Structure 1
Amino acid sequence: MGQSLQKLTPGNEEKKAKEIGAIAEGCYDKYFADDGRNGTKEWSSADFYHALCETIGEINKKLGSSTQFRVPNTETLNRVFVRHYKGKGKGNPLTKEEFEKILRDVMVETGFSGTGAKDIFFYIFGVPATALFFKQRFLPRAIPNELFIPAVTSATVFVLAKLNKI
């Protein structure tokens, strides 16, 4: 289940994706698995919203402070739920695949906060742009831009990788 969420996590992707997958499966089993009544539990939108927010809260708690997923608003949640839920009626429980798709789309649509993701985007795009600005200002013909920009970007990514930022 965590393989589809792997793109969302910075840092050690495989470890965090496994953690997210384990948390998502645990929350699915806790809130949506068959409770002995053959899936006859009727879910209101408030119940579903509460269960999904609890899942996102557990993921945020487990991931720590580097990346925090935002809690979705009701319009986003309803739109994603209608798009992925195939049961559409009494006696048709939510499957793990549907829950995974709903959780993934909610996380992608609502985004994430925290300094971890913002820092990565800032460094990967900001450092090469700033270096290009200074190069153009002081040494415009020393190194061609076709070589300079990829070199600075690669160096930035290398430093971020060594510092365990990505």
Structure 2
Amino acid sequence: MGQTIGKEEKKDIGPIVGKCYDKYFADPNKKWNSAEFYHAICETVEELNKMLGSTQFHVPKSSTLEEAYNKHHNGKDKSLTKDEFQKILQDIILDSGVTGMGIKDILLFIFGIPIVTTFIKHKAAPNSIPNDVFIPAVTSASVFLLSRLNKI
């Protein structure tokens, strides 16, 4: 599954995938229905999101999960292997997508806040601080805030 998420995000997801596999799929005698299987996958996605610190992955559609299961699970009468589980997770994560909330924060803070504060400054006190000083100061403050919040 690539064992890491993203180029800048170097967190190893292997232990989480292994832990969830052991928790839900290690019993070879367990008979699964689609609702239980979907619940186990959703719990795994939730654990991955907790590890990454915020919601990164969408919960998969049931049709996507069913297609990935049918594609990767070779022996229909035997239990799911760890390799098959990783391939199923890879397919559903690639199909469901990543929310990537970080880029929204960066665009909002670096571009949105300086623009809004400039408009407010022009309405409240247009000549109090020159724009040549005000806009870089607000942008720097936004970048500082992003760094303090560990967004960049």
The answer to whether the aligner puts 1:106 opposite 2:95 as a matched pair is no
Residue of structure 2 in register with 1:84 after alignment? 72
Residue equivalent to 2:126:
none
User: Paired residue for 1:69, among 38, 54, 57?
Assistant: 57
TM-score when normalising by structure 1: 0.59
Shift in Å, 1:87 = 1.6
**Structure exhibiting the larger radius of gyration computed from Cα positions:** 2
| 2:75 aligned with 1:95 | no
Give a deviation string over 1:109-131, Cα, whole Å, max 9, x none.
Answer: 000113225679x8xxxxxxxxx
Matched AA of 1:112:
V
CA deviations over 1:21-50 (Å, ceiling 9, x no partner):
11110000000003xxxx221100111100
SS at match of 1:42: coil
Structure 1 distance, partners of 2:84, 2:76, is 12
Amino acid across the alignment from 1:85: H
CA contact (8 A) 1:10 1:116 kept: no
* Aligned counterpart, 2:143: none
List structure 1 segments (4+ residues) > 4 angstroms apart after TM superposition: 117-120, 163-166
Aligned counterparts of 2:99 and 2:87: Cα–Cα separation in 1: 21
For 2:89, what is the secondary structure of its paired residue? helix
For residues 25 and 115 of structure 1, do their structure 2 counterparts lie closer, same or farther at Cα, with a shift above 3 Å needed? same
CA distance in 2, matches of 1:75, 1:86: 18
Contact 1:68 1:114 in 2 (8 A): yes
Matched position secondary structure for 2:44: helix
* Paired position in structure 2 for 1:155: none
Q: 1:28 is matched with which residue?
A: 21
Structure 1's unaligned 5+ residue stretches are: 123-162
Of structures 1 and 2, the one scoring higher in RCO (CA 8 A, sep 6+) is 1
Q: CA RMSD in A?
A: 2.3
